[in-house]
Amino acid sequence: MKHGISKLCLSSLICLAALTALQASPREDDDEVTYARVLLLSIDGMHAVDLARFVADHPDSALAQLTATGRTYTNASATRPSDSFPGMLAMVTGGTPLSTGVYYDDGYDRSLVSASGTCTPGVTVPGTRTQWKQNLDTVPVASAFNTVIDQAKLPRSGDDCSRVFPHQFPRVNNVFELIKAAGGRTAWSDKHPAYEFLNGPSGIGLDDLYTPEIASCDGFLPCPSSQVTTQFFSKTMNYDDMKVEAIIHEIDGFDHTGVNPAPVPTLFGMNFQAVSVGQKLDLTPVLGPKGGYLDASATPSDMLELTLEHTDHSIGRMVSELRDRGLFDSTLIIISAKHGNSPIDPGTLRRIDPIGIMNIVNGVQAGLVGQLSADTGPLLWLKDQSRTAEVVQALKAADPAVTGIDAGAPGQGVLWGADLAARYPSPLTDVRTPDIILLPVAGTVYTPPVATATKIADHGGFGEDDVHVPLLVSSSRISAKQIDDAVETRQIACTILKAVGMDCSGLQSERIEPSKFLPHSNHKRD
């Protein structure tokens, strides 16, 4: 490689020493120095406008301090669809669903067989829902948050009926695998055991994975939906605190438990969930506080402001610990979000029950729906793809109050056929691609519109609020810069590799959809 270490280092100690030496030898441009490690943080749900406003209103905050020595990308886009699973993969693989084959954490695969029931190789007709969330947890769980995957709940291969683990699902490798193969240590913390998928196709990308189950009641399962952690602002912040402690332990030279000594990771990080809950949760139907935004200008409610401040404090703890351990100058910090949440403007919110879409599709043919993933941008997989055109006609002809789409409005309607195949692999040749994607009226959230509904925002769609996320790359060696050129969160992967002296050629996504590391300045314009 041009600047770095061999991918076939003889030992972790040798490679880590090489990484440390690299960061001490700056290139001609201070922005081009290499680092001993990268800390990657995802603030789920956060928008670029949230970061700008928070930094302006809190000049002494951790985010403001990091912005003062960082490149702020004001026009960064997450993946479309804007879900956690493809959003996280973009950051670490450099790929979108075009190369990863992953559209949602709740999707469909025409080559797999359901977890239960009969499976006979070569005989059973494949095609099943692929859900990579709390549904895979072992239940019951009676030890706080320490859930593991129940293998009996994993889908099966249509070829030999073997169980398919989350890490086998993405089609391309990731930066954790590449850095570990080069002798670096890797660690990550996230919200479900299914985040085992970050081990990558090799199955061994992570040295230290910490995934306390967020969809539980103080760590216990089974759990009534009204008592899940994410139905409480305070409990979600407390939940994030557990993962922050894991990061602190790793900075201090231990694994996430704080018990077992381990080298400080070369690449590590976590996702924050509290801001997303601060945007999505309105507890006034059950006599509680309300989150979300107050207006179209993204003025935060008191509860959203509280979650932003709490997350900023947590980041400040990590920065302080890096300083105390003498690691701050040799660490590159990257802050972004897997996705945003919509709508920002509370006046545009309209809830639509997704059962209406199910009824329209199944009205064309009984049992036609293979899977409907509907949060803010419905994805539809059909069991009989020959009926796709009829389904599209039925959806376009239906009442917009039922479907959420206005087929005649610019940027809205139905994405299918040649238009869909121009963006993704054709669903007729690829087992993962949805047959139909709905592009609804801005502000639409698909959720049962009951009187006690608490959801006022969500993600999954293609709109601005769903994808316009913050992106900050910070180090004590970087001058403050604002970069307004359009960038994508998938460029984070190349940026991570470049930061530790490696290049992007090892990323398999590069062969399908090449990317570049994040630019150091705005492009020259004529």
Residues 70 and 180 in one domain: yes
Q: Is the pLDDT of residue 134 over 60?
A: yes
Q: Which residue has the tokens 């969930």?
A: 273
Q: Is the pLDDT of residue 524 over 60?
A: no
The answer to whether residues 493 and 93 touch, using CB atoms and an 8 Å cutoff, is yes
Would you tell me how many other CB atoms lie within 10 Å of the CB of residue 452?
Answer: 9
Residues 232 and 209 in one domain: yes
The answer to whether residues 420 and 396 touch, using CB atoms and an 8 Å cutoff, is no
Boundary-marking domain end, from 422, 446, 470: 446
Q: Which residues contact 399 (CB under 8 A, 6 or more apart)?
A: none
β 481-483/331-336 pair status: unpaired
Instruction: Please indicate, yes or no, if residue 141 is contained in any of the structural domains.
Output: no
The answer to whether residues 435 and 364 touch, using CB atoms and an 8 Å cutoff, is no
Query: What's the rounded Cα separation, in Å, for the pair 93 and 324?
Result: 32
According to DSSP, residue 285 is labeled: G
Q: Is the pLDDT of residue 344 over 80?
A: yes
The answer to whether residues 494 and 507 touch, using CB atoms and an 8 Å cutoff, is yes
Q: Mean pLDDT, to the nearest integer, of 495-502?
A: 98
Query: What's the rounded Cα separation, in Å, for the pair 335 and 39?
Result: 8
Tokens representing 383? 């069991």
Residues 431 and 501 in one domain: no
Q: Distance of CA 42 to CAs 155, 182, 338, 370, Å?
A: 28, 24, 6, 31
Q: Is the pLDDT of residue 81 over 70?
A: yes
Q: Give the H or E element holding residue 43.
A: strand 37-43
Instruction: Please indicate, yes or no, if residue 457 is contained in any of the structural domains.
Output: no
Tell me the three state secondary structure of residue 87.
helix
Boundary-marking domain end, from 411, 446, 481: 446
pLDDT number for residue 2: 36
pLDDT number for residue 141: 67
**Mean pLDDT, the chain, integer:** 92
Domain count, the chain: 2
Query: What's the rounded Cα separation, in Å, for the pair 99 and 101?
Result: 6
According to DSSP, residue 168 is labeled: G
Q: Mean pLDDT, to the nearest integer, of 371-377?
A: 97
Backbone phi, psi, residue 129, to 5°: -65, 140
Residues 366 and 436 in one domain: yes
Q: Mean pLDDT, to the nearest integer, of 125-141?
A: 91
pLDDT number for residue 355: 97
Q: Which residues pair with 130 in a beta bridge?
A: 107
Instruction: Please indicate, yes or no, if residue 62 is contained in any of the structural domains.
Output: yes
Residues 419 and 481 in one domain: no
pLDDT number for residue 430: 98
Instruction: Please indicate, yes or no, if residue 6 is contained in any of the structural domains.
Output: no
According to DSSP, residue 517 is labeled: P
pLDDT number for residue 3: 38
Instruction: Please indicate, yes or no, if residue 234 is contained in any of the structural domains.
Output: yes
Residues 437 and 467 in one domain: no
Query: What's the rounded Cα separation, in Å, for the pair 45 and 99?
Result: 24
pLDDT number for residue 399: 95
CATH number (domain holding residue 476): 3.40.720.10
Query: What's the rounded Cα separation, in Å, for the pair 42 and 85?
Result: 12
Query: What's the rounded Cα separation, in Å, for the pair 270 and 243?
Result: 7
Q: Which domain holds residue 50?
A: 12-28+36-103+164-347+462-511
Residues 227 and 276 in one domain: yes
pLDDT tens for 139-181 read: 876 666 778 999 999 999 999 999 999 999 999 999 999 999 9
pLDDT number for residue 13: 37
pLDDT tens for 239-265 read: 999 999 999 999 999 999 999 999 999
Query: What's the rounded Cα separation, in Å, for the pair 285 and 223?
Result: 21
Residues 341 and 364 in one domain: no
Residues 326 and 381 in one domain: no
Instruction: Please indicate, yes or no, if residue 3 is contained in any of the structural domains.
Output: no
**Residue count (the chain):** 526
Q: Is the pLDDT of residue 24 over 90?
A: no
The answer to whether residues 485 and 523 touch, using CB atoms and an 8 Å cutoff, is yes
Alpha-carbon Rg for the chain, nearest whole angstrom, is 22
Q: Mean pLDDT, to the nearest integer, of 209-220?
A: 91
Query: What's the rounded Cα separation, in Å, for the pair 502 and 512?
Result: 20
Query: What's the rounded Cα separation, in Å, for the pair 138 and 110?
Result: 26
Residues 410 and 262 in one domain: no
CATH number (domain holding residue 358): 3.30.1360
Instruction: Please indicate, yes or no, if residue 119 is contained in any of the structural domains.
Output: no
Instruction: Please indicate, yes or no, if residue 145 is contained in any of the structural domains.
Output: no
Residues 408 and 283 in one domain: no
Residues 362 and 285 in one domain: no
The answer to whether residues 185 and 269 touch, using CB atoms and an 8 Å cutoff, is no
β 76-77/112-113 pair status: unpaired
Tell me the three state secondary structure of residue 396.
helix
Boundary-marking domain end, from 417, 446, 475: 446
The answer to whether residues 480 and 68 touch, using CB atoms and an 8 Å cutoff, is yes
Backbone phi, psi, residue 288, to 5°: -125, -175
